[in-house]
Amino acid sequence: MELEEKIIEILKAKKTKTGGNCGTYAAAMCYDLDIPFQEVKPVLEKLEVEDKIFYRIGVAGRLIFWK
């Protein structure tokens, strides 16, 4: 499965599980996928430009939400 598809799957699962009330930290996503942030960042930037995700400030950094 392509990296972008895996990231989308994680974000959609979090939205479904929490009703859209909780986001995902990029660090947690990197840990789950076992890859460095440098590989995840371009995908997140692409999804943000496509208006598929948005960010909110959380306790430990920016939370990523699926729209």
Instruction: Enumerate the domain spans of the chain.
Output: 3-66
pTM above 0.85, yes or no: yes
Measured in whole angstroms, the distance separating CA 40 from the mean position of its chain's CA atoms is: 9
Digits of tens for pLDDT over the chain (67 positions)? 799 999 999 999 999 999 999 999 999 999 999 999 999 999 999 999 999 999 999 998 999 999 9
Under CATH, which architecture does the 3-66 domain have? Orthogonal Bundle (1.10)
